[in-house]
Structure 1
Amino acid sequence: MSESGTIELACLGRPFQLGMLYDCRTDALIPGISLWDFEMLKKNINIRPQPNTDFKIIAADSSEDKVAALNVSASLEASFLSGLVSVKGSADYLNDNKKSKHQSRVTLQYRTTSRFEQLTMEHLGTGNVKHCNVFQEGSATHVVTALLYGAQAFFIFDREVSSNENHQEIQGDLEASIKKIPSISIEGQASLKMNEMEQEKINKFSCTFHGDFALDNNPVSYVDAIKVYSELPKLLGEHRDKAVPLIAWLYPLKKLDSAAAKLVREISVSLIRCAQRIMDELEDFNIQCQDLMRDDIAIRFPEINDKIRKFKDLLSEYKTVLQKHLSRLLPSIRGGGKEEQELADYLNRNKRSPFKGALVTKYLNEREREMNVVRSYLDIMKDVPVISSSNELDKVVLKVSNNYVIAFTLSSLNEDEPYLSDLGNYLNEQSCNNEEQVSYNLNSSKKTEKWFCSGDVTAITRENIQAFLDFKEANKGKKNIEFCIASIPDELSTASSIHVYERGRLISSQYELPSKPPMPVFLSAEHDCIHLQIKAPDRGVSCVDSYCISYQSAESTEWTEVYTDGVADQVTVKQLQPHKEYCFTCKAVCRPGVSLTSDTTSFFRTRPCAPPGAPIVKQVVSESATLVWDVPTSVGEGVLITGYVLEFRECTKEHENEKPWKSVKSTNRECILHDLKRETDFTVRVSAICVNDEMSLPSSETVFSACFKSKHSGEVGSGLFKNQSSRIHKGNPSIYKLELHQKMKKDDFNQYVFGRKVEDVKNKVILLLGSTGAGKTTLINVMVNYMLGVKWQDPYRFKLINEVTNRTQAESQTPNVSSYELYSQPGFQIPYSLTIVDTPGFGDTKGITQDKLITKQVKSFLCSPLGIDHIDAVCLVVQASLVRLSANQKYIFDSVLSIFGKDIAENIIILVTFADGKDVPVLEAIKAADLPCKKNRKGQPTHFKFNNTAVYADKRVEKHTTVGSDSDDDEDDDQKLNEIVCTSTFKQMKTFFKTLGTIESKDLTQTIKVLEERERLEKAMTSLTPQITAGLSKLSEIKRFQQCLENQNDKMNQNENFEQEIEVMKANRAPANCFNMNCNTCFFTCHSNCFLPAEDPVQTCAVMENDHCIICPGNCHYSFHSKENFMWTYETKVEIKTIKELKENFMEAKGQFMDTKQMLEALEKDFCGIKDKLMKLIRLSSDCLKRLDAIALKPNSLSIAEYLEILIKTEKEEKRPGFEDRIVELKKLKKDTLLLEKIARGEDLLVNEL
């Protein structure tokens, strides 16, 4: 268009009217001034309708698309860009830009026109102008001569696009949905029906409205937009009188008067497009800044947000400066005051300013990379909280519960940005030089590598992060330590560092947390410790205070921790068990906590045992030396020592090389070295050989000299054992009590140990049994003295068992079964270990109850898994003077032998005490009683004779006197006799232990069977005996009643009140110390000592089958039974009853009327039923006895009845307090015993009842 022609101009919401003046230089309306009067204008207006409606979808959001939608010319666009033009109404669409690049936008444009108004030509003549002064003022260049009225509306739909959504797909969905709006508004709300998926999509749309319509409420959603869109035609008014100017036509004033101002030149489109690109670029930068500021990283780290905000403000300020300059420059160029080149130069200089697009883009890219780098760090530390301010950090650090706070700090987020300083300086210089743009030196900024762009810095930071996370993982169980991430400026650290706070105080801003150390290196092992080498971790060595070593045995799941003193590179893990495998881990310890645990080592085994004791020179004779040594002080579980290696070598003199060791093997703890060089010193040491040829470490070294004189080192022989005992009596001899270790203590037995089991030697087990007063305890003590090598001349004796002296000889000195395990040691006179089982004496004053208790104790010991598993000899201890076995003694031996199985017969040995001569009368008594035992070649019981009194006899102290006396001679004779007896006893001991060594060990399986069978028998008989007795009484009662009925005569028929004596069995409830299953219908105890749990139903008792009892006479239902702590007992009483009473009672019991014949039949039936049950009970008892007879040496103590008769007579004679009650109980026991003997002999118990 020529400069002198009419201009078509978009109104953009400005209040255009016909006849108004317009300055095209500034694109501004001149209000209040007109060339014509209002009346004249009104007469010369031509109006015609021009209706038209259109809509358009705008998918792009560029400024070009916006100005095109509003028909904005390039010149007007330049004025808009420079801020010369302010827009309103629908034109505000030009100012609506996207807030984020993550935003999809589609715009629906609605445009309608109503009328066209223009001025006629009549009033344009020169003479018609009323206000000619306007031309001289030059304030306007054009006049408005035509206007097109109508209205426009822009519906802007936005949708946020997440990172995992496709932008193009979202844009397509948005466009498709917007295109439906015009058709929906025409078709009505019925067409708005959508499925759930479509509804979900449109719910994500937001709507912004810009229009020339007055709305009550602007639409904010898709549905709102449809509603508003459908109502737009109505909003213009019925006659469309609410339309606004859309396009104005401007006529140049120069054509009316040459003196008027004119538009000299238009700005070239190319320059306008250049300015537009600059403004668009600034707007894009602004959007990028907003996106970055909304990023989670910028929110969590205010330092990043502040930098971006500052940069955004500088861009905004630069845009304002740019618009201000353009707003001054454009009118001057259009009016001819300045050349267009000035605008071109200004725009070109912008490309060399610090706001140059490439520099701004670079800066924003750097910020985005910085944030991405920080984001990657946070992703690695995703479980660690981020502290966003110093106040929040103070709260964490000062929290009372936090002893330590470990903060991973980003130290460079606050570093200076020279580029921002350059931008600020540039704008300051611009403000000082309004007319001239200051050039910018592109090389002014320091070109240093940013921390987030450095590969080395990234690598170091990731190492710090890993160290931080490893340390957090290692200390996650601690409650007094907290971990966090924070931004703390630190010029000494690049990118990151670790701050450690201790109780609110910063102890280091560059703390190097220790990393996971290498696993410990095995150096060597001892029996109770393992030596390890500790290697320092790769990082954090300077902060390590010590190391924590954890170890675990192969059999355990628990770890034990030990800490080193300081940071030594070697550590010894102590208090380990011998011959066990251990694995180890290590972790570094610093002030706030510990590092990750190292990898676990392989399992390392400790030595099987401790080193033996240092060799002791027993004696040196000629060119040989005898050495002994002690057993290792500690031996692994299950480890047995099979031998020893004695190493020796000559001692070297100064400056001589050490000579090699020579070695000698030995199977015991004594070794003789032969062919030693005379007058030479030797060094000797010893090591233990264990199973699988494992070795202990060598002992301490001993130095001795091979000379000709015999040397003794301290106590030898039995004297060595005084160190393992305590003196209990001072005299000649003094008495020493051996120190025992209690291995086990139970109610029925005790176990004691002397010495340590470290060597693989045989263990012989002997069990001593005998009556009270037979001398078992003294015999055991004498055995021990022989074993320890005591001689008559030694001024000391040992005791294994110290008797309780306040007990009479009639009471057993041993209250419980006790075992004594004597492990083989140097000085033992026997080549094996020995276990002595001592039992209480049978037949003491406590009677048969105590004897049964002893049997129970022996059984408990033999059957216990903690007891013994084999036996070598059962030693019956008897006094030599017994000529025959009394009933008491028979009972004792029967009780003893009833414990064992038949396979033990060849292991029974007789130990005779109080043997003063050759004759031993008790042997004949044993033969006469046919006691099973081992026999010698002569057919005599294998026996050994002892007289123990001489061993502990006092010896006379030697006195030097000149005159003799008869008493001294007598004492000398007694002492010599005692020496002879003691020596003889020790010889017998030697023979006994030699024989014991040849006896084959017997497994206790058969004996345990006998004990278990006897226990079952006793329990069965406890239940069966009263049942059999009751059954027999009931049979007797029925038999007498039958006889009464059968013997009725005429006199009895005539007199039913004829009285008859009859025995009646009465059932009584007797308290019991256990629970019994009772039938309260039959008054019968069906199951004594019933162990049925309280919560279990009665029908599950062992005597129940098909819900009925198989024991009680009536085979009653289980519901008539109950578990109670009493039992039914029976007694027979003689009562006088008439025949009538007997019949009535019988019929009442049967519940029906009967004649005599029917009664007899019923009685016969009851008799047979009870008889069958009795036979069943008797067979059960007989079967038990037969099974016991097959395996036991003595199946039943048949001498009990005779023994009980003796006890009854003794009670009657002595009449001690309570004897009457005791006699009643003994008679009851005798009655039960006789019944048992009858069953054992197979006698028919019912012969008298048939």
Structure 2
Amino acid sequence: MATNMYHEKQALQVSNRSEDRLLSLVRILLLVGGVEPNPGPVEAGQLEIAALGRPFNLGMLYDARSEKTIPGVTLWDNETLKANVEKKEHKKVKVEIFENDTISGKTTALNLQANLKLSFLSGLVDIGGSGEYLKDYCDTTTTERITLQYNSTSHWESLGMDHLSTDKLQHLGVLEHKSATHIVTAIEYGADAFFLFDRKMSNKTDGTKFEGSLKSEIKGLKVMLGGSAAGKSKEKITDKSESIHCKYYGDFSLSNYPTNIKEARAAIQEIHKHLQSESVPKKVYLYPLSLLTDKAMKLVAQISASLLQRTEKQLQSLIDTRLIVSGILKVPELQHFGALKKEFMDYRAQVETSELLFQEKLRAILPNIRGGSMQESELTKVLETWSASMFRSDKMEEAVHGFKNELNYLAKKLHRIWQKVDEEVGEELKIEFSKPDEIDDNTVPILALEFNIADFRGSLIKECEESLIFLKSLNDPPEKREIKQVHSWYNDSEQKILAMQNMDIFLSFVASARKGQSIATKEGLQPARFVCVPDKSKGERGKAKSPISIVEYNRRNGTEINLPSYLSPPTVTNLTSNSAELEVELPSEGLEHILSVLILAKVNEHEYEIIKAQEHDNRNETKMVVKCPSVIVHP
């Protein structure tokens, strides 16, 4: 019957202000009674918002333009308010498990309305309790997250219909300050709890299987949360369970906050003890003050759905980029590349600055758009400005993709060095990791493989810095700004080929040295040191020729050289009983660094000796093993 009355009222052509008020008041009572009519225009009815841990009381004033509560100011005294409160039991419990860790997924879990979501994203809303869950994001490329949500309602409280009539307003003068647009007329009470379970993904883990495994680890917790009493779970704590980290956000006060599955079970048992005693405002119904008096401010407009979606997408991209780069910074191999790590850190800081700047712009314009002093086009301008910067979604995805690929490439090179030593020479040879200024031994030849990443960085950081200056000013028309293409050595096929060649040549020399780490110099055979320098500073000795180059050190001063590839075994062209003619094929690269070719020969198990050209040996028909190393300049 109430529903029919509501629809009949909506069908009327309401012309005077008193009938407008009556229609809105009927709508309030229907909502409290469990019937939820479709929302009309902003001025025609009330707003329905999530409390998000904020303190709300019946009769409290609220500014829907800035999402701010106005405590201590009401239209009635406390005695009148208390005498006109209506209560109704409304018990409901829902327990869910979900994997969506995006803005959309989180705001849906907390039932945020579209415009309140935008207010939260801009930082207008100060949240608490279970609402803190909205702030916790993880890097889903490296971490698997499953969220367990407990959602409960206990009762409703609302102001009586007669109490809202205009002639009973006791403090109408407070509305002259124009600080409020709505009044709290009904509150839904209850309590929420979120348990976030995270586990790091290994490179070998299949994402689908991992997710299923993580779900199975916490399936017993859902049953425990949904039960009327806290039963003991029969699930055992496994090795996999121990690797799962837990975080809690909720409206229940716990003696200890859980950090793992075992502690989460104890927390659930404690929650069941508080179900009857703890409840907080969850959903709040707001009545427009403009329908009570002409003195009140109006909420003129709300942001359109299309702009809401664009704004959410932009902020989600900024958050995702920041989290992914934070994950990359923890990769062990990156710690060897200081210059690269610094660029990643600088980029993350720039993304964070862009995110804060974006929120600042939103906070400045949203209340004005809602109050009618600004047009919605101002928000469009902000979005277009970010789209004309290095912080638009596709440009950030491109940067992150480049970071990952470059680091993976360099990490493989490091692993190749380690693997070469382990597989081919074992403990007989050591490749040291060092910095250029730490190479201080000049008594032996030092051959270094240097990663000159700092010399080949693109202009990403510079372009982002220019974008930040542009975003702070908002003076330049977005359509006139050109986004430059940022080039990287990693995408240059010629540079990658040259880097690979130098790596191969260096490792061939490492493998040829073998026992004793000997290398031929113009003074003869000498012990040698092989060094890997993964973090050469930018500008040392000028820009390098290749992202990965070979350097010969002399008194701490390194000289980049085009090292000759390892010579093939000599070919015997003419053999007699007491002589042999050998032919050596010279390498195609690095000839300028070959002073001469030494012939090393050994008899049986003796050590190699240098045999000079045309040297005579009286040992007829002696079997000898011969090899030819290149000679490297080492003064």
TM-score normalised to the size of structure 2?
Answer: 0.84
Return the match for 2:516 from 455, 478, 481: 478
8 Å CA contact 2:97, 2:148 repeated in 1: yes
Tell me what 2:244 maps to. 205
Tell me what 1:351 maps to. 387
Tell me what 1:382 maps to. 418
For 2:350 and 2:56, locate their aligned partners in 1 and report how far apart those are by CA, in whole Å: 37
Secondary structure at the residue paired with 1:551?
strand
What is the one-letter code of the residue matched to 1:3? Answer: V
**In structure 2, do the counterparts of structure 1 residues 302 and 343 end up closer, same or farther at CA, with 3 Å as the change threshold?**
same
Return the match for 2:449 from 400, 408, 413: 408
**In structure 2, do the counterparts of structure 1 residues 60 and 349 end up closer, same or farther at CA, with 3 Å as the change threshold?**
same
8 Å CA contact 2:354, 2:468 repeated in 1: yes
CA shift for structure 1 position 200? 2.2
For 1:481 and 1:256, locate their aligned partners in 2 and report how far apart those are by CA, in whole Å: 91
For 1:283 and 1:184, locate their aligned partners in 2 and report how far apart those are by CA, in whole Å: 33
Tell me what 1:517 maps to. 567
What is the one-letter code of the residue matched to 2:245? Answer: S
- Runs of 5+ unmatched residues, structure 1: 565-570, 594-1250
Q: Deviations for 1:242-261, whole angstroms, at most 9, x for unmatched residues?
A: 31111111111111101210
Tell me whether 1:562 sits opposite 2:614 in the alignment: no
Tell me whether 1:59 sits opposite 2:92 in the alignment: no
**In structure 2, do the counterparts of structure 1 residues 544 and 29 end up closer, same or farther at CA, with 3 Å as the change threshold?**
same
8 Å CA contact 2:455, 2:547 repeated in 1: no
**In structure 2, do the counterparts of structure 1 residues 387 and 493 end up closer, same or farther at CA, with 3 Å as the change threshold?**
farther
Tell me whether 1:394 sits opposite 2:394 in the alignment: no
Return the match for 1:329 from 365, 382, 406: 365
Tell me whether 1:16 sits opposite 2:67 in the alignment: no
Tell me what 2:314 maps to. 278
Secondary structure at the residue paired with 1:176?
helix
8 Å CA contact 1:346, 1:437 repeated in 2: no
Tell me what 2:32 maps to. none
For 2:434 and 2:128, locate their aligned partners in 1 and report how far apart those are by CA, in whole Å: 43
What is the one-letter code of the residue matched to 1:235? Answer: H
Q: Deviations for 1:436-470, whole angstroms, at most 9, x for unmatched residues?
A: 4653766553665x322222222222221121112
- Equivalence map 1:937-976=2 (5 Å): none
**Stretch moving more, 120-129 or 364-373:** 120-129
Tell me what 1:419 maps to. 460
8 Å CA contact 1:151, 1:211 repeated in 2: yes
For 1:386 and 1:548, locate their aligned partners in 2 and report how far apart those are by CA, in whole Å: 25
Tell me what 2:29 maps to. none
Q: Deviations for 1:688-719, whole angstroms, at most 9, x for unmatched residues?
A: xxxxxxxxxxxxxxxxxxxxxxxxxxxxxxxx
Q: Would you tell me which structure has more helix in proportion to its own residues?
A: 2
**In structure 2, do the counterparts of structure 1 residues 69 and 583 end up closer, same or farther at CA, with 3 Å as the change threshold?**
closer
Tell me whether 1:38 sits opposite 2:78 in the alignment: yes
Tell me whether 1:467 sits opposite 2:496 in the alignment: no
CA shift for structure 1 position 297? 2.8
CA shift for structure 1 position 193? 4.5
Return the match for 1:294 from 325, 330, 337: 330
Secondary structure at the residue paired with 1:483?
strand
Tell me what 1:540 maps to. 590
For 2:568 and 2:318, locate their aligned partners in 1 and report how far apart those are by CA, in whole Å: 57
Tell me what 1:456 maps to. 494
Tell me whether 1:586 sits opposite 2:604 in the alignment: no
8 Å CA contact 1:408, 1:465 repeated in 2: yes
**In structure 2, do the counterparts of structure 1 residues 437 and 176 end up closer, same or farther at CA, with 3 Å as the change threshold?**
farther
What is the one-letter code of the residue matched to 2:631? Answer: V
For 1:444 and 1:275, locate their aligned partners in 2 and report how far apart those are by CA, in whole Å: 20
For 1:70 and 1:117, locate their aligned partners in 2 and report how far apart those are by CA, in whole Å: 20
Return the match for 2:264 from 190, 206, 225: 225
Secondary structure at the residue paired with 1:381?
helix
8 Å CA contact 1:354, 1:442 repeated in 2: no
Q: Deviations for 1:792-812, whole angstroms, at most 9, x for unmatched residues?
A: xxxxxxxxxxxxxxxxxxxxx
For 1:558 and 1:129, locate their aligned partners in 2 and report how far apart those are by CA, in whole Å: 111
Secondary structure at the residue paired with 1:208?
strand
For 1:233 and 1:446, locate their aligned partners in 2 and report how far apart those are by CA, in whole Å: 57
For 1:30 and 1:168, locate their aligned partners in 2 and report how far apart those are by CA, in whole Å: 48
8 Å CA contact 2:599, 2:610 repeated in 1: yes
Tell me what 1:429 maps to. 470
What is the one-letter code of the residue matched to 1:457? Answer: Q
Q: Deviations for 1:791-839, whole angstroms, at most 9, x for unmatched residues?
A: xxxxxxxxxxxxxxxxxxxxxxxxxxxxxxxxxxxxxxxxxxxxxxxxx
What is the one-letter code of the residue matched to 2:610? Answer: V
Secondary structure at the residue paired with 2:626?
strand
Tell me what 2:552 maps to. 500
8 Å CA contact 1:354, 1:440 repeated in 2: no
What is the one-letter code of the residue matched to 2:360? Answer: K
8 Å CA contact 2:88, 2:155 repeated in 1: yes
Tell me what 1:234 maps to. 273
Secondary structure at the residue paired with 1:41?
helix
Secondary structure at the residue paired with 1:380?
helix
Tell me what 1:171 maps to. 211
**In structure 2, do the counterparts of structure 1 residues 478 and 204 end up closer, same or farther at CA, with 3 Å as the change threshold?**
same
Tell me whether 1:303 sits opposite 2:339 in the alignment: yes
For 1:560 and 1:478, locate their aligned partners in 2 and report how far apart those are by CA, in whole Å: 12
Aligned residues between the structures: 570
**In structure 2, do the counterparts of structure 1 residues 48 and 379 end up closer, same or farther at CA, with 3 Å as the change threshold?**
same
Q: Deviations for 1:733-782, whole angstroms, at most 9, x for unmatched residues?
A: xxxxxxxxxxxxxxxxxxxxxxxxxxxxxxxxxxxxxxxxxxxxxxxxxx
What is the one-letter code of the residue matched to 1:498? Answer: I
For 1:31 and 1:222, locate their aligned partners in 2 and report how far apart those are by CA, in whole Å: 40
What is the one-letter code of the residue matched to 1:588? Answer: S
8 Å CA contact 2:456, 2:547 repeated in 1: no
Tell me what 1:650 maps to. none
Tell me whether 1:102 sits opposite 2:139 in the alignment: no
Q: Deviations for 1:294-328, whole angstroms, at most 9, x for unmatched residues?
A: 22232221211111111111111111111111112
Secondary structure at the residue paired with 1:589?
coil
- Equivalence map 1:2-151=2 (5 Å): 2-4=41-43, 5-151=45-191
CA shift for structure 1 position 190? 5.0
8 Å CA contact 1:22, 1:140 repeated in 2: yes
The structure whose RCO (Cα within 8 Å, separation 6+) is larger is 2
8 Å CA contact 1:353, 1:440 repeated in 2: no
8 Å CA contact 1:153, 1:211 repeated in 2: yes
Indicate the RMSD between aligned Cα atoms, in angstroms: 2.6
- Equivalence map 1:835-914=2 (5 Å): none
Return the match for 1:182 from 222, 226, 246: 222
**In structure 2, do the counterparts of structure 1 residues 481 and 91 end up closer, same or farther at CA, with 3 Å as the change threshold?**
same
For 2:204 and 2:591, locate their aligned partners in 1 and report how far apart those are by CA, in whole Å: 45
CA shift for structure 1 position 267? 1.0
Q: Deviations for 1:361-391, whole angstroms, at most 9, x for unmatched residues?
A: 222222222112212322321257888874x
CA shift for structure 1 position 69? 1.3
Secondary structure at the residue paired with 2:151?
strand
For 1:258 and 1:12, locate their aligned partners in 2 and report how far apart those are by CA, in whole Å: 31
8 Å CA contact 2:433, 2:531 repeated in 1: no
CA shift for structure 1 position 148? 1.5
Identity, % of aligned positions: 27
- Runs of 5+ unmatched residues, structure 2: 1-38, 422-429, 518-526
For 1:177 and 1:193, locate their aligned partners in 2 and report how far apart those are by CA, in whole Å: 8
TM-score normalised to the size of structure 1?
Answer: 0.44
CA shift for structure 1 position 530? 3.5
For 2:574 and 2:560, locate their aligned partners in 1 and report how far apart those are by CA, in whole Å: 39
For 1:445 and 1:405, locate their aligned partners in 2 and report how far apart those are by CA, in whole Å: 42
**In structure 2, do the counterparts of structure 1 residues 509 and 443 end up closer, same or farther at CA, with 3 Å as the change threshold?**
farther
What is the one-letter code of the residue matched to 2:417? Answer: M
**In structure 2, do the counterparts of structure 1 residues 308 and 386 end up closer, same or farther at CA, with 3 Å as the change threshold?**
farther
